[in-house]
Structure 1
């Protein structure tokens, strides 16, 4: 079974970052189990889009940006599309990297205390650098399988410790409701799970693992299994957070602190381990995704050890460590990244569905009717999500 696990585990690790854990924490504390359906919907949407990206990557043996460039014949539209992709992902990932490293840092604080907290970002940055510099794709895959397993175990145990009510969980999963004031939280849950850069990352990573059309079934299994496990982790955070009767919990670290009086040090340590694993995996995948996107957009055809490929991920990693170490909060950059991602998600979803419907690109492996119906529904939903996130950032609501 584990031999079949591939790029899907890196995709799951990428979307379960500190942002996802914080959004899930707020959802659980504020609305209990009521928004579990939104996470379930997000996971299904992620599975559908990531399967399309993986299928496209295996059939074409190219990155998503490469395929888009080849199929957009109008020079100006092609240039604008590539500029938006580069801007959203390179600048966005650089802006969010400080938060990824910060999440891993909070995990270390929960485990080892705050005495050496100022050194934690450097330790995290060095660990991420070493894994990316000395590791190969296969080595990263193995590391991520361990980290995802550790994260899953930690958050599942944390959720079980809170003694959840099974009937209420099932109701939250399968009976959608929108409690007053929950709309932005629903948008946050979907936005941190259905991540645009993961589509580019997945299409490129499958080339490292699989070369034949006979591997499509394995890739689909890998996608469903890995992302499903990632969704379970996110749901466990919501369930754990629902046990805390406090509106003062605003982050994953607050959740760890809030669980301690109720369930002792055990919950705090499990939460710390899970948060560290979530932070370190996102700290690695965000720079890696940026490097793959740059590779495709500029047509480098660079390998994992190519200096141009390395230069991109090193830059993203250094920016993250620098911002966090000096307490810099690049609010304007993050706002730009949020607006760019709000534009990018529906645009890339449209382009992806279009590409996997083209016979000259996919041949007999293009979308069937069912896949198209589900794909178009997700495109419409991502358009709504993108517009709402832009309106929110620009303060127009």
Structure 2
């Protein structure tokens, strides 16, 4: 018996090591989630409302994990990209609508995130933001189009781990109020916080993350037999790493920053005199790392879906996909010349992505409960998925209402038009499911 114990312990340790080394696809999604847009929402929420929105931060990690689990399950069961599955079971128009949803959300985010990275790089190096932005676009295009998914996954793991360490280190030198933090776990939505709440949740439950997961798993060659590793991958990336990242940033901001009009780089600079220069530099390094990690994952999403819709390969071995990938990376360069304060822009594009997310979630839930999935989805997973769908839909509705309340201009009008299209499609999909269920009863 005594001889068996070390062997059993060794086997368990080897199993854990195997799972840790085997992780990957969910970390690409986690790299996108743990980006500067999420960071902007967290910093602004903490600075403007202290600890009041901590419950949204915790909810976002749980909701993001569940959304990725559902997307992962669909990908494993069908062993196809989500666009191909939608087209096969719903038709071409639904597939094109999903592609358009992702291109709009990811395209807007791409420009603003590159602007953020260029701003941070310019602050650190003294080189102009425009030159920094162009250089980063070239690096992005060369890295992704040249080395493909393996490069993306390795970069995602390293950058997410580094960003989490940076912000947890910042948290260690910041005085947190435990009592106020505990009160922030009680759900409440202060006046004027709807867009920030949508931004925080949108960082974890986003149309880009939901739709790209089937493609990253295909790049890994995963199938239904890898379900255990895939679940471990999702939980470790979204719930643990992303959850720690989000809570650490929010607590830093809520504890020492108090300025509703705080700027992105200003947040880092404000930490210096308050809690020491180490926190300022850790904050800047974390922001830069978050921007780099998000750009990599965000860049591959539209090419994945477009190539799948056109029947092309979704790896760099297919020259057409590689051209899509390099082109989308290079098209992000103009983002460095947008100008203006990026904090508000980041929150806005994240909330815009939230508008397109309920439609993607509805598609995943519909397909998981259709003949497309050879195995039934548990009632618990369905209930959780519907809950995430309803929460994201409510936050998206509040965001659109707030945009329109300020007057319908070019930006708010575009947001409204986008919201109407995806809302009509989502209602139509729900009606289709109900009719099919009634017809089969």
TM-score normalised per structure 1: 0.89
Tell me by how many angstroms 1:357 deviates: 1.7
Flag the 1:334–1:222 CA change in 2: closer, same or farther, 3 A. closer
2:428 equivalent in structure 1: none
2:58 equivalent in structure 1: 40
1:308 to 300, 317, 320: 320
Tell me by how many angstroms 1:337 deviates: 7.5
Matched, 1:69 2:87: yes
2:433 equivalent in structure 1: none
- Tell whether the 8 Å contact from 2:219 to 2:315 is kept in structure 1 after alignment: no
| Secondary structure, counterpart of 1:192 in structure 2 | helix
Flag the 1:334–1:140 CA change in 2: closer, same or farther, 3 A. closer
Which ranges of structure 1 fall in alignment gaps of 5 or more residues? Answer: none
- Tell whether the 8 Å contact from 2:307 to 2:321 is kept in structure 1 after alignment: yes
Tell me by how many angstroms 1:249 deviates: 4.7
2:160 equivalent in structure 1: 148
Structure 1 residue runs of 4+, over 6 Å off? Answer: 333-340
1:177 equivalent in structure 2: 188
| Secondary structure, counterpart of 1:362 in structure 2 | coil
1:107 equivalent in structure 2: 120
Q: Deviations over 1:167-223 (max 9, x none)?
A: 4333323x2222333233212211232110111111111112243322101101100
Tell me by how many angstroms 1:240 deviates: 1.0
After TM superposition, the structure 1 = structure 2 runs for residues 205-224 of structure 1, keeping only pairs within 5 Å, are 205-224=216-235
Tell me by how many angstroms 1:27 deviates: 0.6
**What value does the CA root-mean-square deviation take over the aligned residues?**
2.7
2:31 equivalent in structure 1: 13
Between the aligned partners of 2:292 and 2:122, the Cα distance in structure 1 is 14
Flag the 1:91–1:346 CA change in 2: closer, same or farther, 3 A. closer
2:395 equivalent in structure 1: 385
- Tell whether the 8 Å contact from 1:64 to 1:199 is kept in structure 2 after alignment: no
1:87 equivalent in structure 2: 100
Flag the 1:315–1:394 CA change in 2: closer, same or farther, 3 A. farther
Between the aligned partners of 1:188 and 1:307, the Cα distance in structure 2 is 36
Tell me by how many angstroms 1:90 deviates: 1.9
Q: Deviations over 1:214-258 (max 9, x none)?
A: 210110110011012112112211111113343255333121011
After TM superposition, the structure 1 = structure 2 runs for residues 315-394 of structure 1, keeping only pairs within 5 Å, are 315-325=327-337, 327=339, 341=353, 343-358=355-370, 360-364=371-375, 366-394=376-404
Greater relative contact order (Cα < 8 A, sep 6+): 1
Which ranges of structure 2 fall in alignment gaps of 5 or more residues? Answer: 1-16, 408-441
- Tell whether the 8 Å contact from 2:114 to 2:335 is kept in structure 1 after alignment: no
TM-score normalised per structure 2: 0.81
- Tell whether the 8 Å contact from 1:84 to 1:340 is kept in structure 2 after alignment: no
Between the aligned partners of 2:143 and 2:246, the Cα distance in structure 1 is 25
Flag the 1:62–1:206 CA change in 2: closer, same or farther, 3 A. same
Flag the 1:190–1:259 CA change in 2: closer, same or farther, 3 A. same
Structure showing greater Rg: 2
- Tell whether the 8 Å contact from 1:342 to 1:390 is kept in structure 2 after alignment: no
2:180 to 147, 168, 173: 168
| Secondary structure, counterpart of 2:121 in structure 1 | helix
Flag the 1:344–1:267 CA change in 2: closer, same or farther, 3 A. same
| Secondary structure, counterpart of 1:361 in structure 2 | coil
